[in-house]
Amino acid sequence: MDRRRLRGERTRQAILSHAARLASAEGLEAVSLQRLAGDLGISKSGLFAHFGSKEELQLATVEEAAWVFTLEVLKPGLSEPAGVGRVAGLCEAFLSYVERRVFPGGCFFEAAVAEFDSRPGPVRDSVVEKRRYWAASLARAIREAQTAGQIVPEVDADQLAWELNCLLIGANNSSVTDPGDVAFQRARRSIRDRLQAVAAKP
């Protein structure tokens, strides 16, 4: 029946979860089958049987990370009602996701895109697409806030989304380099100021 593959599905999930967390810190390519299998206490061949190739494992890892990102960032961010609150909510959800170290190495996709940006192939395409979707979500929230009259219509939504995303990614990068939470303070302050500057007068 449908419960037949339960056992295999569970180990597969465990593999992908661990692979995503590991890859965020050490890179997708650095996660070898041997290392992964050793960490999980299973054999390399047993692990490999779940995926036809290393590339398919990487693809599945990206999908797993996307699922986590949706759950941890997009869902809580979009739970805010449309408007500046939703824009701020998305930003704060991202910062919290980085700060709580949902992935030990910071944002999974920033690490992955840095690793694969100059390496064409399906893995790169998948990562880039996910990243674009995030940027588009941010831009859409800004446009919603404009039609709601909470952000002045003169601002270029895509430009503002790009700027906010730069600050978010900058916080992610700084947080893995600098100690303490100074990076998040800086990002929150910049984002607050930036949103206030474009807020429509009531």
CB of 69 to DNA, least distance (A): 24
In the bound state with its own copies, the residue whose beta carbon lies nearer, of 83 and 106, is: 106
Binding of residue 104 to its own copies (CB under 8 A): yes
- Whether the Cβ atoms of residue 131 and residue 114 lie closer than 8 Å to each other: no
Which residue, among 152, 154, 166, 132, has the nearest Cα to 195 in the 3D structure? 152
Phi, psi of 2 (to 5 degrees): -75, -15
Contacts with 102 (C-beta within 8 Å, 6 or more apart), sequence order: 68, 72
Binding of residue 155 to its own copies (CB under 8 A): no
- 73: which DSSP letter? I
Beta-ladder partners of 199: 151
44 vs 36: CA distance, rounded Å: 8
Size of residue set near its own copies by CB under 8 A: 34
- Which of the choices its own copies, DNA, none does residue 18 contact, using the CB cut-off of 5 to 8 A by kind? none
CB of 140 to its own copies, least distance (A): 18
Q: For residue 148, how many other CB atoms are within 10 A of its CB? A: 15
* Residues 52-91, interacting with its own copies (CB under 8 A): none
Binding of residue 29 to its own copies (CB under 8 A): yes
In the bound state with DNA, the residue whose beta carbon lies nearer, of 3 and 100, is: 3
Place of tokens 């990562």: 127
In the bound state with DNA, the residue whose beta carbon lies nearer, of 11 and 70, is: 11
- Which of the choices DNA, its own copies, none does residue 177 contact, using the CB cut-off of 5 to 8 A by kind? its own copies
Q: What does the block give as tokens for 25?
A: 């810190």
The Cα diameter of the chain in Å comes to 63
In the bound state with its own copies, the residue whose beta carbon lies nearer, of 60 and 128, is: 128
Which residues in this chain contact its own copies in the complex, by CB under 8 A?
A: 25-27, 29-30, 104-106, 110-111, 113-115, 117-119, 128, 131, 159, 162-163, 165-167, 169-170, 173-174, 176-177, 186, 189-190, 197
